[in-house]
Amino acid sequence: MAGQMGGMAGNVGTLPGEISAAIGNVGFLASIPLWLVTILGSLFITVLSFILIMTVYSRFFKIYIYAALAPVPIAAFGSSETAATGKAFLKGYVGVCLQGAVIVLSCLIFSAYMGSGSPAAPSGSAVSMVWTYVTEIIFNMLVLVGLVKSSDRIVREMMGLRGMRASLASCNLSASRTQRS
């Protein structure tokens, strides 16, 4: 099921035919630059993948923490004096859930885009073909990592939500004002 999302079922881990044929026709000495390009590209892709996975795990872990601790701030709705805390929590919770939705949507769009194939078939030497292919993958992964890392900013801009700290600070400020009056 997961391998079929976004049309990636047949495209996982496959090179375009032109690049595979060009690599197959390269001799041993001419393959050394190919190894260098491949090693550098795979290192960069591995680092981006690690950043992506850590970001996704931390965002979804944040959702789990919010869900686990939800009864505490929801109980604040029991009193009109503390209802602002409950409202701030719900705004933050909706924001965190929307971050998860933005991450899932970004991954689905990335998957569909990568599954559509290479936009232009490269020509030239095998090294230039591989270099073009690897840079396309790295660029697409940079866009995906940027979208995933900025999902909180995207949600705040989209929904007009503030960060949880700012919401809690404004709730504490409004509570202290009502207590003074």
- pLDDT tens-digit readout, 11-64: 455 777 777 788 888 888 888 888 998 899 999 999 999 999 999 999 999 999
Condensed to tens digits (0 to 9), the pLDDT of residues 58-104 reads: 999 999 999 999 999 999 888 889 899 999 899 889 889 999 999 99
Position 54 scores a pLDDT of 94
Residue-range domain boundaries for the chain: 17-180
Query: Is 181's pLDDT higher than 60?
Result: no
Position 79 scores a pLDDT of 87
Position 176 scores a pLDDT of 54
In 3D space, the residue among 24, 3, 5 whose CA is nearest the CA of residue 13 turns out to be: 3
Position 170 scores a pLDDT of 56
Helix 17-24 × helix 126-149 angle, to 10° = 140
Distance of CA 117 to the CA centre of its chain: 21
Which amino acid, one-letter code, is at 161?
A: L
Q: Note the pTM of the prediction, 2 decimals.
A: 0.71
